[in-house]
Amino acid sequence: MEPARAVNNFSAGPALLPLEVLQIAQSEMIDWHGSGMSVMEMSHRGKEYESIIGAAAADLASLLKLPKNYKVLFLQGGATGMFAGVPLNLTKGFDTVDYLVTGHWGKGAVKEAQKYVKNVNIVASGESTKFTQIPDPATWKFSPNAAYFHFTSNETIHGVEFGATCPNVPEGTVVVCDMSSDFLSRPIPDIEKYGVIYAGAQKNAGPAGVVIAIVREDLLERALPICPGVWVWKDQAKNQSMLNTPPCYPIYICGLYFKWLLKMGGLEAIAARNAEKASRLYRVIDNSAGYYISPVHPSCRSAMNVPFRIMNNDALEDMFLKEASKAKLLQLKGHRSVGGLRASIYNACALGQVEALVAFMEQFQKAHPTPPAPAQ
Ligand SMILES: *Cc1c(COP(=O)(O)O)cnc(C)c1O
């Protein structure tokens, strides 16, 4: 059992961190390991910080069982920066890229790629279903000559998630995945099928301020000359992500987070815990006789972000948010672009927190079985 927090926080990001990570950071804040310095005060070129960033990269590689021909990079600019960083690093000698769009973030990635690449081909889009399902793979239209194929493994706002394995793509395709909101939530059994994986840390792996990139070494030779220097992966790889001053403190917290995941039993164990949490939550939705509604097709429901509505009724949802907040269940409002409600139940969220939410949902349905009468 993990100790309870003062509130149950279901934020989509920046999100909950494991209590133990925060406690270690607190105890080391002023004097890191007897150095007399805070991690925020030390040179990134010193032996102390080198050991911090080195351990973070090594622990991440060990969690992911990362093959030797991949580099771990800690970069700045967030996942949104990577929307530009990906085409800028991978399209030398190419004029076409392929994107699969299954929600808000995939669309954002396309928009950014269009600035740098002549042909941004949409392999398929879930927009006609309001991003409630993944388009049937039989309808995906790959280009014969794309530099890469990009997809979003978990759409944080729409709650649409791919399975644990890489989608099927034509032989030789370089697969690039925005894994921001399900990174480290489960093992990646076929990691060698990916060319690049990236993830903003603030969902499932640490605090805001650092984006993690995993890049297959042979792809380091394809940067466009206009790529900003701090984003040239080859140069960052050569410099252990310290071409310039890295986001030292966020990387340190990520390192503590990776150690916590290892201690929890690694990604297999965390995946089992995540699956249990998601199934508890979807069970309450499915057993509510249509009171709670999950808009997402059951074949691609996210285990990390669970959007739902209550009888499609805004007033009932407002009441839910107010009462939930009194019960110390926080940050359950859906993203402004889609409305409704959303519970984000990332790695750091304990089963007990989901149990508290589920109990509240059952009690709320009993107390408010029908929408309130409209105000006169
Ligand atoms: C949050 C998120 C982003 C944007 O991340 P920033 O770090 O804010 O740039 C991109 N993609 C996905 C899937 C996300 O969840």
Ligand 1 center to 88 CA (angstroms): 18
User: pLDDT for 95-105, tens place per residue?
Assistant: 999 999 999 99
Give buried/exposed letters for 208-230 (b at 16+ CB in 10 A, else e).
Answer: ebbbbbbbbeebbebbbeebeeb
- Which sequence positions are flagged as catalytic? 105, 178, 203
User: pLDDT for 147-181, tens place per residue?
Assistant: 999 999 999 999 999 999 999 999 999 999 999 99
Is residue 143's pLDDT more than 80? yes
What is the number of the ligand 1 atom nearest to the C-alpha of 83? 10
Mean pLDDT (whole number) for 305-312? 97
Contact 185, 304 (CB under 8 A): yes
Residue 376 pLDDT grade (very low, low, confident, very high; cuts 50, 70, 90): low
Q: At what angle do helices 78-90 and 104-113 cross, to 10 degrees?
A: 40
Residue 337 pLDDT grade (very low, low, confident, very high; cuts 50, 70, 90): confident
Ligand 1 center to 31 CA (angstroms): 32
User: pLDDT for 41-91, tens place per residue?
Assistant: 999 999 999 999 999 999 999 999 999 999 999 999 999 999 999 999 999
> In angstroms, rounded to a whole number, what is the distance separating the alpha carbons of residues 238 and 201?
22
The percentage of the chain sitting over the pLDDT mark of 90, rounded to a whole number, equals 96
Ligand 1 center to 368 CA (angstroms): 35
Closest CA to 329 of 6, 5, 13, 9: 9
Mean pLDDT (whole number) for 342-369? 97
Is residue 94's pLDDT more than 70? yes
Nearest CA to ligand 1 atom 10: 79
Model pLDDT, residue 1 = 59
H or E element at residue 375: none
User: pLDDT for 211-230, tens place per residue?
Assistant: 999 999 999 999 999 999 99
Mean pLDDT (whole number) for 270-298? 97
Model pLDDT, residue 2 = 65
User: Over 306-364, what HEC string results?
Assistant: EEEEECCCHHHHHHHHHHHHHCCEECCECCCCCCCEEEECCCCCCHHHHHHHHHHHHHH
> In angstroms, rounded to a whole number, what is the distance separating the alpha carbons of residues 18 and 207?
11
- Ligand 1 probe mutation, 156, 180, 305, 338, most atoms within 8 A of CB: 180
Nearest CA to ligand 1 atom 5: 79
Is residue 374's pLDDT more than 80? no
Q: What is the mean pLDDT of the chain?
A: 97
Ligand 1 center to 181 CA (angstroms): 7
Is residue 259's pLDDT more than 90? yes
Is residue 375's pLDDT more than 80? no
> In angstroms, rounded to a whole number, what is the distance separating the alpha carbons of residues 80 and 91?
18
Nearest CA to ligand 1 atom 7: 78
Model pLDDT, residue 372 = 82
Mean pLDDT (whole number) for 132-137? 97
